[in-house]
Structure 1
Amino acid sequence: MDVYLPIANLSVNGLVIVALGALTGVLSGLFGVGGGFLTTPLLIFYGVPPTVAAASASTQVTGASVSGVLAHRRRNGVDYRMGGLTIVGGVFGAGIGSLLFRFFQSVGQIDVVISVLYVVMLGSIGTIMLREAIDTIRKRQTSEASQARKRRHHPLIAALPMRWRFYRSGLYISPLAPVLLGVMVGILTMLMGVGGGFILVPAMLYILGMSASVVVGTSLFNILFVTMATTMVHALTTKAVDLVLVALLLLGSVTGAQYGTQLAQKAKPELLRLVLAAIVLLVAARMFLGLFYQPEEIFTVLNL
């Protein structure tokens, strides 16, 4: 079933795009991550231009985050004060990311920048996840008791001026910390088309020291509004959001997330992390190799 993508300016098999969305949806439900960090590279592998892939993937993440926020809100798992500050930083970061996006696009290097960012981010995160999963499995096999990590924010956070109380997160820290974290996530969301959850969740846990009970819900709350902002910025500046592509991805991801959630209830968490780490590293390796491939047609058409 061929479908024409007007912004990407190419025809694709609609069923393949729906299946790709379903795959990222399954990963979202199975591993508890947004799946957006895999949507962009998979679209690039399929032949969608990186600029369109990044812009459209951020739009898909917006739709996929709504149900997650509502679910965590029902169990009081969202720190709205913390989330509001990260959103302020995220919107500001999206503006900075827009300027960077346009700059790299003007010099013809945006495709390379997106690929390099994915190689670095996915390679680093995949390695950390793989090491933690292997350590957890080894401790279980040797019956070694794992000590609970004391929840404490990073020393740099304690050095920041002013302090607010975040009662849901159980923190007394400077509001500048979540704002700066939001700026970083906003820039990456604009450039990479990701929700930022795979960066935001570990940062909230290990840098800010937030309570694990509100981390995921607060992260999704941030992702929802920051991806909305980046989608609007992309639509007004880069004009790279392909709504036909987004609709096909959402159709698949909404369905896939339901199956992923059911599978997650039956599998061991450490094995899930191990599999996810392997998938992330494989995608990073493929993106790395893609930086050195010579394209079949070493020219492009520029619309003036």
Structure 2
Amino acid sequence: MEMELLLTGVVIGTLSGFFGIGGGTILVPVLIMMGYDIKSAVGISVMQMVFSSLYGSWINHRKGFLNLREGMVIGFGGFAGALGSGWLVSAVDEIVLESMFLAVIGFALYRFFRAPEYTEPESDGHDLSPLVLAGTGAVIGLFSISMGIGGSILLTPILVGLLHYPLKKAVSAGLFFVVFSSVSGFISLSLAGQVDYLHGFIVGIASLAGVYGGIHLASLTGHKKHKKALVVLYVVILAMMAKKVLGV
């Protein structure tokens, strides 16, 4: 089992760096297929996201892809919202969590299909107030961490589809958001006794090996190809979770 978790961690880290996701969107369904229940999968996933998001955001900042000011506003909102994840996971049935996960992926896929094409570089400014950004982060933080995902799979489509962010900057902002939501969620889930520390550490450490390569690959990929790859990712995850929830 340890070797499988190590290999899974490397793959998740690569996807995390390339797509700007915490990795839970892939890791949770994979862990469920490996035999973990949804709540154990969520705990392992959140611990892994702490590793990959911190390292990946540091690399993105060095490459100039990350807007720290806007990322901090959204991130602190996500941190506050994620503090309630331990309560939500403990209070809600597994089938409800799985259905919520499915709904989030479906919404993200819809937003990406509807988002207009933008070419780099684009203005990364917006007219939303810090309060609106923080509130958006709080809602995403609460529900995403409760489903074992960092929130970027929901945040990135919103940044691209609604706020006209360039894709690569939105991806970097999404991964930075995961730093706040995953750390907060890790604290909350730990207090609720919902974290498998050993397996989470194994996957988290292994994921670092893939993060660097994933970010480097993303920097070499054009906007249209990067967006198409994200859509494919969402379709695959949606299919995996639909199969689990519907029992087919």
For the superposition of Structure 1 and Structure 2, which TM-score range results when normalised by the shorter chain? 0.7 to 0.9
What CA RMSD, in Å, does the superposition of the two structures yield over aligned residues?
A: 3.1
Whether 2:219 is the aligned partner of 1:236: answer no
Question: Residues 217-238 of structure 1, C-alpha deviation per residue, up to 9 Å, x if partnerless?
Answer: 443333212211110010012x
Please identify which structure carries the higher helix content: 2
2:194 aligns to what SS in structure 1? coil
Q: Return the offset for 1:41.
A: 1.2
For 1:123, the aligned partner's letter is G
2:220 and 2:129 map into 1 onto residues whose CA distance is: 40
Distance 1:283 1:126 in 2: 10
Name which of 55, 58, 66 aligns with 2:43.
55
Cα distance in 2 between the residues matched to 1:207 and 1:222: 17
* 3-state SS of 1:100 partner: helix
The number of residue pairs the alignment matches comes to 248
- Specify the alignment match of 1:293 in structure 2: 247
Change (3 A) 1:115 1:236: same
Larger Rg: 1
Residue type matched to 2:228 in 1?
L
1:95-244 equivalence runs, <5 A: 95-104=83-92, 109=93, 111-129=94-112, 170-210=125-165, 214-237=169-192, 239-244=193-198
Deviation larger for 172-181 or 49-58: 172-181
Alpha-carbon distance change, 70 to 282 in structure 1, aligned in 2, over 3 angstroms: closer
The 1:279/1:90 distance shift into structure 2, 3 A limit, reads: closer
What is the DSSP-based 3-state SS (H/G/I as helix, E as strand, rest coil) of the residue aligned with 2:56?
A: helix
Q: CA deviation at 1:185?
A: 1.6
Distance in 2 between the 1:219 and 1:191 partners?
A: 17
User: Matches of 2:211 and 2:236 in 1, distance apart?
Assistant: 22
Report the Cα offset of residue 241 of structure 1. Answer: 0.9
C-alpha separation in 2, matches of 1:210 and 1:275: 18
> Structure 1-normalised TM-score?
0.69
Which SS does the other structure have where 2:77 is aligned?
Answer: helix
- Greater fraction strand: 1
> C-alpha distance in 2, partners of 1:189/1:183?
10
Change (3 A) 1:218 1:130: closer
Q: Deviations over 1:200-230 (max 9, x none)?
A: 2232344345566754444333321221111
Q: What is the identity percentage for the equivalent residue pairs of Structure 1 and Structure 2?
A: 23
Partner-residue secondary structure (3-state), 1:291:
helix
Q: String of CA shifts for 1:224-278, please: whole Å, max 9, x gaps.
A: 12211110010012x1111111122123322223443455466655345434433
TM-score normalised over the length of structure 2: 0.83
CA deviations 1:46-69 (Å, max 9, x no partner) are: 111111111221111111111222
How far apart are 1:90 and its partner, in Å? Answer: 1.6
Tell me, yes or no, if the aligned pair for 1:130 and 1:274 is still in contact at 8 Å: no
